[in-house]
């Protein structure tokens, strides 16, 4: 069988196996995500597997770069990826996406034994403190906005309707003047 036929058969099998499973997500016909553990589980993680053109003869691309995994240290991610790569090497040449997802589910506790959740509040406060200086100058620029006097506001309000839009044809006089000036030059 060709790689494309193998991929089509595996895609069909994955769709039927994981139908209705909230942890499984098909990003594209060659890219899949699976959440290992429940949403509220601090040791839950997300694996993304993408097939290459020659998969399953060549290994798939396995990633843990999803936002869901931000609370996992890079050392733990590397450890999980290394263990999954061992499973890939053992299954090379066969359809292995289901096998990899199940292997990760079966070994979740072992994979996450060294996991200490990264304190997300610290990360957020660091981001906020870094961005705070950038937002301060922009607020000063807003203060320099031109202020209209009461008379200017009234004049503007008289020109516009209740939605703040100018009435239809408000500049027709200017257009007529312009056309009369340009039209008179053509007549000469």
| For the chain, domain boundaries | 3-112
| Local mean pLDDT, 10-residue blocks, the chain (188 residues) | 79 88 88 86 87 88 85 86 89 87 86 70 44 45 67 77 70 74 60
Q: What is the pLDDT of residue 160?
A: 73
Q: What is the pLDDT of residue 139?
A: 47
Q: Which residues pair with 23 in a beta bridge?
A: none
Between the alpha carbon of residue 23 and those of residues 3, 27, 49, 151, 180, the distances in Å are 27, 13, 14, 63, 72
User: Environment class of residue 145 by beta-carbon count within 10 Å: exposed (0-12), middle (13-18) or buried (19+)?
Assistant: exposed
Q: What is the pLDDT of residue 143?
A: 52
79 Cβ neighbours under 8 A, 6+ residues apart: 111, 114
What are the structure tokens assigned to 160, written together? 């516009």
The H or E element that residue 77 is part of is helix 74-91
Q: What is the pLDDT of residue 1?
A: 60
CATH superfamily, region 3-112: Ubiquitin Conjugating Enzyme (3.10.110.10)
Q: What is the pTM of this model?
A: 0.57
Contact between residue 65 and residue 52 where contact means Cβ atoms under 8 Å apart: no
Q: What is the pLDDT of residue 170?
A: 67
Q: What is the pLDDT of residue 159?
A: 73
């Amino acid at each position: 069988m060709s790689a494309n036929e193998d991929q089509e058969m595996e895609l069909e099998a994955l769709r039927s196996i994981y139908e209705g499973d909230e942890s499984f997500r098909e990003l594209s016909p060659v890219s899949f995500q699976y959440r290992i553990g429940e949403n509220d589980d601090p040791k839950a993680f997300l694996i993304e597997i993408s097939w290459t053109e020659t998969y399953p003869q060549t290994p798939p691309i396995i990633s843990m770069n999803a936002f869901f995994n931000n609370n996992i240290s890079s050392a733990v991610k590397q450890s999980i990826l290394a263990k999954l790569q061992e499973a890939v090497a053992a299954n090379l040449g066969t359809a292995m996406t289901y096998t990899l997802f199940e292997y990760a589910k079966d070994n979740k506790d072992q994979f996450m034994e060294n996991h200490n959740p990264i304190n997300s509040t610290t990360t957020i406060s660091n981001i906020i403190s870094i961005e705070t200086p950038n937002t301060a100058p922009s607020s000063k620029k807003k203060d320099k906005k031109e202020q209209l006097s009461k008379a200017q506001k009234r004049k503007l309000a008289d020109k516009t309707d209740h939605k703040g839009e100018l009435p239809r044809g408000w500049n027709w006089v200017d257009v007529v003047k312009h056309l009369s000036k340009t039209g008179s030059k053509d007549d000469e």
